[in-house]
Structure formats: C-alpha cells, structure tokens
Structure 1
Amino acid sequence: MSRRTCNTLKPCTEPPYKSGQGSANDNNANQPYPTLDAAISATYAAKSTAKLKSKLYDSYVRAIRWATDRIGDAGIIAYVTNSGWITGNTTAGLRLAMPEEFSALYIYDLRGNQRQSDWRAEGGKIFDDGSQTGAAILIAVKNPAATGPCQIHYRNIGDGLSRDDKLAIIAKSELPTMAWETISPNEEGDWVDPRDEAFISYTPIAVKRGSDDLAIFTDYSGGLKTNRDAWVYNFSAAQLADSMSATIDFYNEQVDAYQRAVAANPELAVEDAVAYDEAKISWSSGLLPKVQRGQRISYQPTHRRLAMYRPFCKMHVYFDDDLNDRRGRLHYLYPREDLPNFGFFVPNPGNLAPPFLSLMTDALPDLGAAGISAVNFYPRWTYQTRAGGGQLTLDDSAQADTEYRRVDTISPQVLATYRAALGDDISTDDIFYYTYGLLHSPQYRQRFAADLKKMLPRIPPPAAREHFDAFTHAGHTLSDLHRGYETAAPYPLLETTTGALNGTPQETLRVTKMRFKSKTDRSVLIYNSQLTLSGIPEDAHRYRLGSRSALEWIIERYQIKTDSRGSGIVNDPNTWCSEHDDPRYIVDLIKRIVTVSVKTMSIVDSLPPI
C-alpha cells in the first residue's frame, strides 16, 4: 500500500484546529517542515517548561508560526484554531512568545471541548465534523507604530451554549464594539486561571530524574501506554491470549514480507511495505522500526499481568517490551509478577487535565487510568538487582536466578526534614500516607485547582504534629480502602428481580450495559432486564474521580464493548466472572464500590484544614 502524502500545512484528514493522528494505522503522519519546526524550536519550545513538547508541532501551531514569520514587521493574522493552547501546559511557551512578536492579540474562546470533564459547561461544538475539539478565533496584530507592551484581549463566549447559540452570537459580534477582558500574563505565561503563588513554595511531589532539587518521591513513572489497547487489554485471559497470538503472527508475516520486498528494492521504506489492516494489527512509531530491523516477536504467556485500566476497573494486560509502546519505568516498579508493589496515580498536567483526582492501586496503572488525562504513578517502592544492576527487562527466564532489593521511594532528605520538624519517630510510610491523605483535601484541590492543571502536585509542610498525624491516618485508611476495594463489605442494596430468573447464575447475572433508572433518580441501578439494585445513597455519587463518580466508572467500563477501530475484538466483563468462577462479581463490585464511596467521603469530610 502506498503511503499518502500531503503538501499543506495540516494533516490531510484533519481540520486546521485539530492536532495529530490517531495512530500509525492512519498512514497519515504530519509532514516534516524543517525550517518551520526550527523556528518553533527557537521560540515556542524554547520558552516552554513542559517535558513533552510535541503538541507545539501540531498543524495549527505550525500555521501560527508560519504566518507570524510571513507577515514580517507589520500585518494581521486571523485563524480559527484549537482552543487548547489558551490554557495548555505545553503551550505556555507559545503564550510567552506571542506577546513579544505582536502589538495586540484578540482571543475569542468559543469553547466546545467535548473531552473536558466539564464538557456540559463547554457547550456545543462550533464545527459539526465529528471532532471533540474546542475552537477559538485568534486575531494577532503587528503594528510597528504601537508603543508599550502587547495588549492581550480575551473573551469567553459563555457556559453551556448550544452550537446555534454560539453561531448567532458570533454573527452579531463586531471587533470594535465587543467587550474584552484585558489579560496581564504572569511569568509562567498564564492567561486564564493563573496559578497560586503559595503553591510554588511547597515541596514538589517529584522532579526530573537526575535533579538535585528536593522532592517527596525519588522515583515515579507514567502509566502504561500500549497504542493498541484492544489487543493488549481484556477482561478475559483467554481472549487476550488469542488476540495477542493473532497480532504477533501477523506482525511476523510483515517482517518476512518486508525482508523480501527490501531485497528487491533496498530503498523501500518500511511504511510502504507493511499492510495497514486494522483488523489484524495496530501499528505505532515504536513497532515499525522493529519490522525494519527484521526483529521477530514470540508470544510469552508469563507477560500477562493485572492492570488498573480505569478507576476500580482491573483487566488483564500483556505487559511487553515490544507490544507496549511506552512502559515508562513500570518495569522497575513491577519487574516480576511475584514482586508486589502499590502506589497512587494523579493526572499529568496538560491540556485535558480533569478535576484533580488521586487513586491508590496495587496493579499496573494504564496511561489513561484517570480517564481524559495521562497519569503519573508514585510507587511505594522500586526494585533494583542486588548486583547493582543495569536495565531490568521483562524476560522472566533471564531473571529466574536474580535477586532483587526493594528500594524506598520517599526521599531521605524529606524524611530528615520531617523528623527535624515533627519528631524522630516519623517514618517514610508516614510521609507516603500523609501525601495521599493531603491530596484528598477538598480545600487543597479547590484552592490549587489552576495549579494542578499546570503543574504536578506540591505538598505543603504540616503545620503541626497533630495536623500531620490526621492526614497520615486518613491517607493510610484511604489507601487500604482503595487498594482493597474488591474485598470491601458489600453495601446493603436491595436486589429486585423482574420476572422469573431463567437460566444459570452466569446467564441471569450477565451484564450488557447498566444504567441509572433516570437522570433524576440515581438511587436505582438497572443492572439488566431481570435485576435492579436500589437504595444507592447520595454520598456514593459524591465520591468523584475526575469526570465521573466511582460508581459511574463501573457503569461505563463494565459493559460489553467491541473495538470500533476495526479489529472486531470483543471485551466482555462477563468473562471475568466466568474465568474467576464468580458470577456475582459485578453485582457485588457495585455494592462494594458504594461502600468504598461512602466511607471515602466520610474520611474526606473529616480532614483538617491544610
């Protein structure tokens, strides 16, 4: 299959306000622009403090950079853009650079980002193209006669407006007569929702590896990024084995086909030689080079692990060097299935950060475990080989005789600081649980909401020993509750059957897609056509993890889903029940999550002020 090309400043299939491509299967990568990208590197990227700066090379950002250079010292550019750059952490460099190059900026935020956790407030989308992206109008003016700093004008179109309402407002808007908010950016490039100055004085939860700066944790990892979730995750261990075996077989066929093709044509690019068949494989930038090197892959049953895919939703995962696109440092935290660990994840600050959340788990965390945003995972321990070793791999046979030592991830410098302030009996366990407890503080989350969208958490020092002890106790209790959610006491919900229960327990308790009785009555859950669960207390809905309550996460994840991208792989939560010989697993899980939710909110409500 020949590779499609595109000579414009945007991907062929994407509107100008959207970014990137879904996967390498799209066969539609952004075209390289060496001169333009060098200009972005010297301006927007140079001023950005984000670790991942790839979003600065999206097509609409490239278009802004190109137009800025194209008009020279005088002129006006006007674009409809993605609205994420207005508040995004990665695009802070863009916001810092633009006022240095323009005399006036007008930003009309049209909202409509359907991927935000508060998507109802975002209102309708401006473009009816199937995208979930918010939009904004940017007008940037270069006036050589202007004096003084750049004037930044911002207007928010409003909350909860429909698409038609927004278009009607835009049609009546005239630039000279519109009411604009004047923005005074801070040093970090915040235009909207500026961060709290006190936040920066607190101890970072983690810093860049190799840095000498003080931080709570010495090691952490991003979540597992597979780039092929439909193949690599499943409720069924048997289905996972079948899916992985099939895609590995197809991959190896492509390795052989490429070797034959390149022998006849040494200049042939690997992208032009492999088959893009979404029913059989999901290609990624990490997998194609392996084909080029002639690297074959074999299925390893021992690479199956348990993962926390979404809050309180565990699935089997194929944890593998070759077929996971990015593993972060998870192989140091979970080098073998028989080496336990646990920790908590929080959303990675960025364009799509939901309301802040934190959740403890003893399973491998998926990159999207928080839902919308990628996560960072802060473990209780990391593992090192006793030989003082090098890179840990996932090849169990090579590690059979290797002994590991467990390493504490709480900084010894932080421990010394806390002991000096609070007493010599403070332990690293105490600091770990203090951190988890404090991250659940409603006061902390509310006051620093803007900061937590832009930066990793920073931990304020305890005001007194009793303050520290209260958060430590709460954090320990929450940790036990959240890690042990599958063994929590089921909440006494009323089970009501409709009609005769025909068939085996597996059949009568089979779930397809659960729902609440109505939007206004969330005390009753329709489990299936034969069973309803009632008596859900309102406190169960108060415990929210980002955009959903814990119970809503169960409803959203525990339904039969067929991969929509073309593989046809079915992910059926009922298979978890059958393979664990527990037909009541999902019913009891709902009851247990209600218990966990109610107890969590009781603990959170009793937390002291920070």
Structure 2
Amino acid sequence: YGLLSARITNPKGDNPGELSNQMPITNPFLKELMESFLSVGGRKDKSGSGIDFDELGINEVVDLLDNSNMEAVIRDFGDKNPLEDPVIHFYELFLHEYDSKVRMQRGVFYTPRPVVSFIVRSVDELLRKDFGLEDGLADTTTWEEMAKKSKELKIPEGTNLNDPFVQILDPATGTGTFLVEVINLIHKTMVEKWEDHGNSEKKIDQLWNDYVPKHLLPRLHGYELLMAPYAIAHMKIGLKLYETGYEFGSEERARIYLTNALEPEKDFSSRFAFAIPALAHEAKAVNEIKANQFFTIVIGNPPYAYESANNGEWICELIKNFYFVDGSPLGERNPRGLQDDYVKFLRFAQATLSETGMGILGFITNHGYLSNPTFRGMRQSLKDEFTKIHTIDLHGNSKRTEYAPDGTKDENVFDIMQGVAIIFANLNVNQSGVRQILKSDLFGLRPTKNKTLNNLKLSDVVWDSLKPSSPFYLFRKVEDKLKAEYLEGQSITEIFSINSVGISTSRDDLCISFTAEEAYKTTGEFVSLSPEMAREKYHLGEDVQDWKVNLAQEDVRTNGLTMKYITPVFYRPFDVRWTYYSGNTRGFHSRPRGQVMNCMLGGNNLAICSSRQVNEEFRHAFVSQTISDGNSVSLASRERTYIFPLFLEGVDQSELEFSFETNTKRPNLTPQFLNRIAEKMGLPQVEENLLPKGLTAEEIFFYIYAILHSPNFRSRYLEFLKIDFPRLPLTPNFELFLALAKHGGNLVDLHIMKSPKNKEPIATIIGSEKIQVEKVSFSDETVWINNEKTCGFKGVPEEVWKFHIGGYQVCKKWLKDRQGRGGQNPRSGRILFKEDIDHYQKIIVAISETIRIMAEIDEVIEEHGGWPGAFVTE
C-alpha cells in the first residue's frame, strides 16, 4: 500500500533504496518505518547481510507499479459509482488471504459508499441548520466565534480560542472511507463557495492548496487498530487529495493514528523508542491528541463484535453507565449484549461529545439497541444526554427474517445477518430545552436502499416522533394507551420465584439421544475412548470454554454410568429425548442449570417454557415435565427458552424470599404475585402457602398457560411481546379465572400427551411395512416421508401441518429431525416403529385440539368483557 501511494504521488521514483523518500508526507509513520528498516538492515551486500529487496519481492512490486498506467488507475479512483470503491478490493482480498479471523474477531465490514455519503451529508446538514455553521463540515468558525453566538456554550478547558470548532474524528477509521467522503464534501463546498466569489480555476487551485494544510488536515482525525486498513486509509486520503489537485507542498500529516480508540492515552515512548522509533513517535502523537483534543464530530461504522476483544479497564468502567436504568441496576444475570464493540464505541462517542459539551454523532451500527430490553439503560442514557436523536432503522436482519411492511423481501446493506441502523445524535446547548427522539424505517432490497440513501436528505425523511419512557425507553413507536394497559400485567419473571434458561450441552449430537438405551450406550462408549478418539468418532470439534472432551468424560466417570443419570429432556415441541445428566457445570453438559432443573428431575412437576424476546409472532409457550433444552421452543439466538417450574423441589429455602413448611409442596410463585391475585379478586389467603382460597397452584399455572395461548393476547400486545418476557393480565372475575384455568389445563394435558383426546387419532399411516423417514413434504392433507410420496400420514389438516410452536413448524420439525442427511456426518433416516407412529398421530391430535381450544379461550374472554374489559377492576 505504501508503494502504491508512493507510485501515484511520485510517478518517477522507482528505486527501492529511495522508498522512504517516496512515501507520502501525509503518512510520517510509514515513511519513518521504511527509513528504520533501511538504516537497520541496509541493502543486502555480498556478505549476505542486510535486506534483499528481490527476496522480499519489493522490486517485483516496484516493476509492476512502474509499468502500470497509473493515470488510468487514478481516473478509476475518481469513478463516482456509489457501489464501487476500487481500493477496497485490495483490502477484501488481503483479509481473505492474510487473516480472515481478524475480520470476524474485530467485526470489520466495509461500509457501502451510499451509506457513508448519506451520513456525511447529513452531519453537514445538521451543522448548517442546528448549529448555524453555513459551511457545514468545511466551516472554520473558531471556538471564540461560536462562544459569541451562544452564551450557553462553555469552551472546554485548555482549548485555544482560535482553534476551529468543527473537529472531526472517525474512531474506527478502517480503510478511511468516511474521512475520504468528508474530504470530498469539503472540497465540493469550498470550490462552490470560491466560484461564487468569482475566483478563477487557477486561483481556486491555489486557495485549495492553502486550505488543505491549514484548515482541512488539522481538523481531520482517525483512529485505527489494524495495520492493513491503517495503511490503506492513508493511501486513500492521499489519493483523494491528489485527485482534488492538492500538491503536497506542506509537511502537514494526515491525522490518522495507529491506535485503539477504546483505550486512553498511554505512554509507550520508552517501550518503543529504542526498538521501533517510528512507533514511539506515533504513540506520542496520538497521546497528545487523546489528552488534549476536543472533538465536535464523531462519525463512522464501529465494529460489531459480540465477543468483544476490547476489555480494557477504561472502557469497561465507562460502559457501566449503560448497566443502570432509572437509577437502579438492570437486574439481569448476564447482559452480555452491552459488551458488544459497537455499544462500547457508542459509549465512547457519547463520552467524547459530553466532554466537549457540544457536537454531533453519526454512526451506522447493529440495530439491536433500538428495542432490545438489555439496552434500556443505554437508551435512557442517550435520551438524557443528547438534545436531538435521529435513528433510521435499515433493518435487513436475516436472523429474524425481516420483511418490508408490504410483505416483500428485505435485504441488508452489508453482507451480514445482523440488521443495522443509522443514528445521528446532537448535543447542542442552544437546544437544551427541547428534547427530540425521531425514528424512521427503510425497507427493501439492497440496491433500492443504496439508491435511496445516495439521494436522500435528512430534512426530506418522514419521521415518527418518539417519547421513550420507563421501563424500556424504546426507540420505536408504541401506542401509549396500549403500553400502559400491557404494563398493568405481571411479568412472568415476577410470577415465578426462580427461572433459568434451558440447559446447554454444547454437543447435542453426542449428549442427546432418541431413547434411554441409546443415551446409556453412547455415553458408555464415549467415556471408554481416549479424548482424541472420542473427538474423532463423535465429530466433537475443538474444545470450547465451557465444554472440553476430557472434562465431559471425567464428569461421567466420577458420577458413574448408571441408569439413574439417564434422564428425559424436553428437546423440541412434543419431542422428549434422553441424556446423561449429572447437573455439573462444564461436565457432560456445559451448562446444566442445576438450581431450576433439579426441580424437574422427578417427573412430577410442570414448567412453562417461554422466551424473553421473539422475532415475529409470539407463539413461544409450551409445557414440560422434565429438564428442558435451551432451544426447546426456538433455535433463534435471541429466542432462547426460559424454564418456569410450578413447584420447587431440591431448592435451598435460604435462597427464597418466602419459606414453606417442610411437609408441604412448595409452589414456585412469588408472595407478591399471590397477594395481587387475592387482592384483585377479593379473596383471603391460605396462611401456609399464601394461595388465594379456592385456588390451587395448578389452577394458577393453567390460567397463565391459557392467557399465553390467547390469539387476541398474542396479537394485541405483539410489539411488547417481541421485546421482553410476557406480562400476564389478572382478571378480577373468579368465574373467568376458573374458566380460563380449565382451558389451560386441557392444553397442558394435550401437550404432555395425557389427554384422552390424544388417543383418538385423526390421521392414518399409509405405505410400506418399513416406515423410514427419507424426505418430508406435504400435499393433499398428507405428510409424506419418502421421495416417492407413497408413505406417510394421511388426513392431516393443512392448518395443523402449518401450526407453529415458538420457532418450529411442529409437524415438519419432528419428522425432519429423524430424516436422513448427507454431508460430513451422514446418517440414514430413522425407522418409525409403532410407538413412534402412535406418538406422531397424537401430535396431530394435540395440535388440532390446541387450535380449537385457543379459539375457545378468546370466546370466553369476550363473554366476560373482552380486551381489556375482562381484566379491569371496577
């Protein structure tokens, strides 16, 4: 990259020995580094010492560049096709060939030019309209001049009054795309201004060559951690300046620094001064910037990395601000989403502008923070800090399979699965009395989004005005009346004393079996092998933090391989499998969730299985009698299954806020919730267990289960059910409560296969004697399980076939999990024996009856006043 920069900015230089002189002055680090290589190694002589440029391939590169039509290359760089940036082809190939893991670890993704152009133009527009700076990003108004305009403005301590107010930082510069676009816009602004003043083309060239070292480069800053994009960024800025006619007649550098934005200033000079003087000088320069420079514009595309590598003390302390909402801790067990790099960069930008006291943030990031409940403290903090926030949700989340409102396909502007959003946040002391949160959405195919952004002005966007409020502070439009109505309900986490996400084995193919006998046999064979032989036989891959082959084997050997540890596990809807369960963390299972799962080991309990968040419709409620898998209701990462047991078994009473007599069966229901039911219906409470008189724990459980299966509940509160655990309304009507409990009990019986209805099949098996699952399909009310469509289950209504529980199309999922597969770990389709056939027929009945009962639940609610009348206390 340095050689390419040198070739373009100094076309006649072709001697590798003079490379340091050819390096652009805008990149003093690379220039000094090349000088160091040559001074330490020299040119290789006959003795074999020094650097051989032929061995390194440098001469070959020089020859290639020297024989290239560089004028044509430069013209290509000037191509204004918004979808193409020739420089990035070098970098994409480099990452692929050199270290693709760096890309994933650091969340490095190139930002499309239409996105960059829109963000830069919008920041320029905001500077003009909201800050009164007529030249936008090109404006050179000083701090002293700004202070005269605004009595509210406090100039940061240590700031030179003659310094320009507009100081620009891209804290995750990457290949410099944003800074190049800033140069492009500033050049256009100044040329138009000078033309309006009647200057000739020659004069404009002179004015531009004066402007760049005095008013452009000193205001343009970038931080980049990785060496390759750092070098490319310098190259791209040099190329852009060259393209604009800048003649590099000054010693002024491009202020892009090789540093981590999420680390404070550090004195590395003594460490690098002797070994690598160039690094020492670079470190000194960036320390000066980090310590003394106040930025008013922070723009860019920070990395998205859920498993953040940035865990320094400074940024981790800074991010703690987002772990509180309404003055109290979030109260979440593991809010890992707040450790994502993009969140840390947003917090960095917020702190940077807060320290300056005035400015604009313009980022494109993961869009999860807009509504995910884990980010409610972050949203509140941003709302309270900034005077105006614009967010444009670009959607494109393939993890959620997002669609446009008209049902058409929606695509991401990046080649990633995670949806993204643009945020502009103003901190303007002149508007401190007026707080605005504005939201817009952009759906569609990628080319459509790019075209829209390339031509869009911020002032032309149609905005929804938001009023984020406690407890979620959502950056999305909600109906206030409906929200208040929904929040009257009890969160399922407030109903049950304990809960946890389901178990995680980390190696399902090994740990989960179809039968108890298979589980016993597989576990025995696994522990009989050496770790490496077991790894190979069971395709276990590399060890991870929470699951290692030797620890899994040790867990089984320590506890012993006996049938008492072979346990049924609710794996998928209507699909109970078997596993070896010791309850030990990082053993045979990575995370067995012992406290909650111990309640389920006896098989005499019930548990509601639900999700905290859902991507589309809320269908995420089922019941289990056994330990349950973390993906039992959905495989989607944000739809992990949480388990809420009805009764407490094997739980230390000291861990609970309310103790029971030792000889009583202890409901896992909070005293506060039981008190509220009693108050709502005017019932006294039983002293021993606080249950409202006339109600059993099971009836309360069944009532909850019925509400979760109400179609009107699911549709009415759809937007709220997407963002946090469901909240359940309580009725003051005792008769309605019991009627709903009856329907809920019938559903539970159907779902655990204990209803008499389960034994009345509505579908028949057709086909050969050997019923083997080869390929699953559906037509003519028949679920086919072979390629020829001669074998399957006939008499299955289409609505039953299409019925979903959580993220699964149940009738299809149960069979597909038994279907043959190819690939690296091939297997034959399972043969269905009589008990399997009987079970699948029971599933069909259960779903058919579930559809009927769900409709009846809504009917009985309607008979008692409907929504919300049936749940309002008169």
Q: TM-score range by the shorter chain?
A: 0.7 to 0.9
Conserved in 2, the CA contact under 8 Å of 1:442 and 1:604? yes
Conserved in 2, the CA contact under 8 Å of 1:304 and 1:316? yes
SS in 2 for 1:510: coil
Aligned to 1:317: 579
Partners of 1:6 and 1:33 in 2: how far apart?
Answer: 24
Shift of 1:538: 3.9
SS in 2 for 1:196: helix
The structure that has the greater radius of gyration is: 2
Q: Compared with structure 1, are the counterparts of its residues 76 and 370 closer, same or farther at alpha carbon in structure 2 (3 Å cutoff)?
A: same
Q: Compared with structure 1, are the counterparts of its residues 88 and 556 closer, same or farther at alpha carbon in structure 2 (3 Å cutoff)?
A: farther
- The residue correspondences of 1:139-178 to structure 2 (distance < 5 A) are 139-158=424-443, 161-178=444-461
Conserved in 1, the CA contact under 8 Å of 2:620 and 2:807? no
Aligned to 1:233: 512
Specify the code of the residue in structure 2 equivalent to 1:474.
Answer: H
Shift of 1:112: 1.8
Q: Compared with structure 1, are the counterparts of its residues 83 and 418 closer, same or farther at alpha carbon in structure 2 (3 Å cutoff)?
A: closer
Conserved in 2, the CA contact under 8 Å of 1:422 and 1:464? no
For 1:526, which of 784, 790, 797 is the aligned residue? 784
- The residue correspondences of 1:330-479 to structure 2 (distance < 5 A) are 330-335=596-601, 338-349=602-613, 352=615, 355-371=618-634, 372=636, 373-384=639-650, 406-411=665-670, 418=677, 421=682, 424-479=693-748
Using the TM superposition, name which of 63-72 and 407-416 deviates more: 407-416
Partners of 2:676 and 2:311 in 1: how far apart?
Answer: 49
SS in 1 for 2:380: helix
Specify the code of the residue in structure 1 equivalent to 2:493.
Answer: A
Conserved in 2, the CA contact under 8 Å of 1:108 and 1:157? yes
For 1:75, which of 359, 364, 375 is the aligned residue? 359
Normalising to structure 1: TM-score of the pair?
0.75
Specify the code of the residue in structure 1 equivalent to 2:784.
Answer: I
Identity between Structure 1 and Structure 2 (%): 18
Aligned to 1:546: 806
Partners of 1:148 and 1:246 in 2: how far apart?
Answer: 70
Segments of 5+ residues of structure 2 without an aligned counterpart are 1-97, 110-301, 656-661, 685-692, 862-869
SS in 2 for 1:461: coil
SS in 2 for 1:597: helix
* CA-to-aligned-CA distance 1:129-183 (integer Å, 9 cap, x gap): 4x4321222233333433324422211113xx33333333333322232222222
Q: Compared with structure 1, are the counterparts of its residues 309 and 339 closer, same or farther at alpha carbon in structure 2 (3 Å cutoff)?
A: closer
* CA-to-aligned-CA distance 1:13-62 (integer Å, 9 cap, x gap): 664664435xxxxxxx6342221121111235566635131100112112
Partners of 2:324 and 2:671 in 1: how far apart?
Answer: 34
Conserved in 2, the CA contact under 8 Å of 1:88 and 1:454? yes
For 1:492, which of 757, 762, 765 is the aligned residue? 762
Conserved in 1, the CA contact under 8 Å of 2:107 and 2:305? no
Conserved in 2, the CA contact under 8 Å of 1:433 and 1:476? yes
Conserved in 1, the CA contact under 8 Å of 2:617 and 2:718? no
CA RMSD after TM alignment = 4.0
Aligned to 1:212: none
Aligned to 2:384: 100
Conserved in 1, the CA contact under 8 Å of 2:106 and 2:304? no
Conserved in 2, the CA contact under 8 Å of 1:247 and 1:281? no
Aligned to 1:34: 313
Aligned to 2:250: none
Using the TM superposition, name which of 187-196 and 112-121 deviates more: 112-121
Aligned to 2:81: none
Q: Compared with structure 1, are the counterparts of its residues 163 and 584 closer, same or farther at alpha carbon in structure 2 (3 Å cutoff)?
A: farther
Does 1:285 pair with 2:545? Answer: yes
Aligned to 1:574: 830
Shift of 1:117: 6.3
Conserved in 2, the CA contact under 8 Å of 1:287 and 1:325? yes
Partners of 1:151 and 1:94 in 2: how far apart?
Answer: 16
Partners of 1:184 and 1:552 in 2: how far apart?
Answer: 43
For 2:484, which of 193, 197, 218 is the aligned residue? 197
Q: Compared with structure 1, are the counterparts of its residues 477 and 304 closer, same or farther at alpha carbon in structure 2 (3 Å cutoff)?
A: same
Aligned to 1:138: 423
Shift of 1:548: 4.1
For 2:105, which of 6, 11, 32 is the aligned residue? 11
Using the TM superposition, name which of 140-149 and 472-481 deviates more: 140-149
Shift of 1:477: 0.7
Partners of 1:404 and 1:14 in 2: how far apart?
Answer: 59
Shift of 1:407: 2.8
Partners of 1:593 and 1:31 in 2: how far apart?
Answer: 48
Conserved in 2, the CA contact under 8 Å of 1:45 and 1:53? no
Partners of 1:152 and 1:277 in 2: how far apart?
Answer: 56
Shift of 1:427: 2.0
Aligned to 2:373: 89
Q: Compared with structure 1, are the counterparts of its residues 45 and 241 closer, same or farther at alpha carbon in structure 2 (3 Å cutoff)?
A: farther
Normalising to structure 2: TM-score of the pair?
0.54
Partners of 1:97 and 1:278 in 2: how far apart?
Answer: 48
Partners of 2:529 and 2:423 in 1: how far apart?
Answer: 46
Aligned to 1:66: 348
Shift of 1:95: 1.2
Partners of 1:100 and 1:415 in 2: how far apart?
Answer: 37
Aligned to 1:257: none
Larger relative contact order (Cα-Cα within 8 Å, sequence gap ≥ 6): 1
Shift of 1:474: 0.4
Using the TM superposition, name which of 415-424 and 318-327 deviates more: 415-424
Q: Compared with structure 1, are the counterparts of its residues 239 and 283 closer, same or farther at alpha carbon in structure 2 (3 Å cutoff)?
A: farther
Specify the code of the residue in structure 1 equivalent to 2:437.
Answer: I
Specify the code of the residue in structure 2 equivalent to 1:470.
Answer: A
Partners of 1:79 and 1:416 in 2: how far apart?
Answer: 47
Partners of 1:169 and 1:246 in 2: how far apart?
Answer: 59
Specify the code of the residue in structure 2 equivalent to 1:206.
Answer: T
Specify the code of the residue in structure 1 equivalent to 2:773.
Answer: V
Q: Compared with structure 1, are the counterparts of its residues 331 and 197 closer, same or farther at alpha carbon in structure 2 (3 Å cutoff)?
A: same
Aligned to 1:185: 468
For 1:606, which of 856, 859, 865 is the aligned residue? 856
Aligned to 2:775: 513
Does 1:222 pair with 2:501? Answer: yes
Aligned to 2:795: 535
Conserved in 1, the CA contact under 8 Å of 2:394 and 2:419? yes
Partners of 1:5 and 1:297 in 2: how far apart?
Answer: 39
Partners of 1:38 and 1:7 in 2: how far apart?
Answer: 28
Q: Compared with structure 1, are the counterparts of its residues 6 and 590 closer, same or farther at alpha carbon in structure 2 (3 Å cutoff)?
A: closer
For 1:327, which of 588, 592, 609 is the aligned residue? 592
Specify the code of the residue in structure 2 equivalent to 1:421.
Answer: G
Q: Compared with structure 1, are the counterparts of its residues 192 and 289 closer, same or farther at alpha carbon in structure 2 (3 Å cutoff)?
A: farther
Aligned to 2:336: 54
